[in-house]
Amino acid sequence: MTRRVVIITEIIAPYRIPVFNALAERKEIDLHVIFLSESDPSLRQWRVYKEEINFQYEVLPSWRRRLGRYNLLLNRGMLAALHRINPEVVLCGGYNYLASWQAATWANSRGARFLLWSESTASDNRRGHWPVEFMKARFLRLCRGFVVPGKSSLDYLRGLGIPAQCIFNAPNAVDTPLFSKLASEARRDKAAVRPRNNLPPRYFLYVGRLVRAKGVFELVEAYAQLQQEIRSQVGLVLVGEGEARAELMTLGSKAVPGRAQFFGFVHREQLPEFYALADALVFPTHSDTWGLVVNEAMSCGLPVVATSVAGCVADLVQDGWNGFVVPPKDPAALAAAMTRVAANSDLRNKMGSNSWERVQAYSPEVWAEGLVQAVQSVCEKAA
């Protein structure tokens, strides 16, 4: 039986298109995606790859303002869209928009199954603020089921008292074959790739926003703590933009010998060239619900050094096997892990191979299978 499913999510993110495409290919699902906005230029510079979209979708009219660290997004047309599509299942990615509450109310009044796509973890920095916790508790009562990307989010919901039978796993994924293919091509052509991107002979790689919460200051400090012999051979490459860029560049320039390079924002199709030639990805975040750059790096066959609070770590990074897990905000621990990676090429190669092996289970098709199982389960319970 084919089920009409609506997914409600904020923007047309490039990493979501492959998973939605995979779901749309499933005969069990008649998929329609409602985007609350086409993009968020205040935070991201992603291209909108509309030519790759193979599913039905619409973008609601919106009005956006950023108030300090908070994102205000208001929409028109949510109820009209739901009336027109008349879905049996609504999957909503979050509760912090008015449109999400409208969708939840509509689904409950019409007998549709309403699911929350939840990536929150116990390490989420947003926890503990009473307005957030109050809204969350109210919203959870409107949900018939929950979809999580991995173990950390599952444990978080279980801690809130959500029964295990109401939680379904759809592992977060990127276009794994694309990143793997482009990285392999870059390695074969490294004599041209390296000078084209002005990359050092060896380097640690960071990909993400240049803001304090991502742990980039600890990363630059950890790099400066590496032995001079290592720094003279291995650089630090940071890909991304953010308010802390100028301060970080000043800090990085003091790591002598050494080479800290800042490349600004890099689009998806060029990123594998940066992953391919790196010694390892370093993901030093203070708090992150997942961290899809880890999926990308592992798809390119890289070891990963990550902090324990990253949501993806419980699923993707096994300490000593495909990388190292360190405490957040601890430059010394970060430097020790980076030293172990830099000093042993056999270890790097083995860890990179293990990363590639593990991430094969985190593909768009596996995500789609998890969604199909969630939809079928909640529909069968309601029958």
Residue ranges for the chain with pLDDT beneath 70: 43, 68-70, 125-129, 382-383
- The per-residue pLDDT for 61 is 96
CA-closest candidate to residue 204, choices 255, 269, 267, 268 = 255
Q: What is the pLDDT of residue 130?
A: 73
Paired strand residues for 239: 207
Tell which phi-psi region holds residue 208, choosing left (phi > 0), alpha (psi between -120 and 50) or beta.
left
Quick check: 275 and 176 in contact, CB under 8 A?
no
pLDDT, tens only, 309-331: 999 999 999 999 999 999 999 99
* pTM as predicted: 0.95
Count of CB atoms within 10 A of residue 133's CB?
13
Using an 8 Å Cβ cutoff, are 197 and 274 in contact?
A: yes
SS3 72: strand
Residues 40-50: tens digit of each pLDDT = 877 677 888 99
Which domains are present in the chain? 3-173+363-382 (3.40.50.2000), 176-359 (3.40.50.2000)
The reported pLDDT for the residue numbered 315 is 98
Instruction: Check residue 329 and give its pLDDT.
Output: 98
Residue 131: the pLDDT is 74
Give the integer Cα–Cα distance in Å for 300 and 183: 5
Q: Among 274, 345, 284, 275, which Cα is nearest to 313's?
A: 284
Return the pLDDT at 382.
Answer: 67
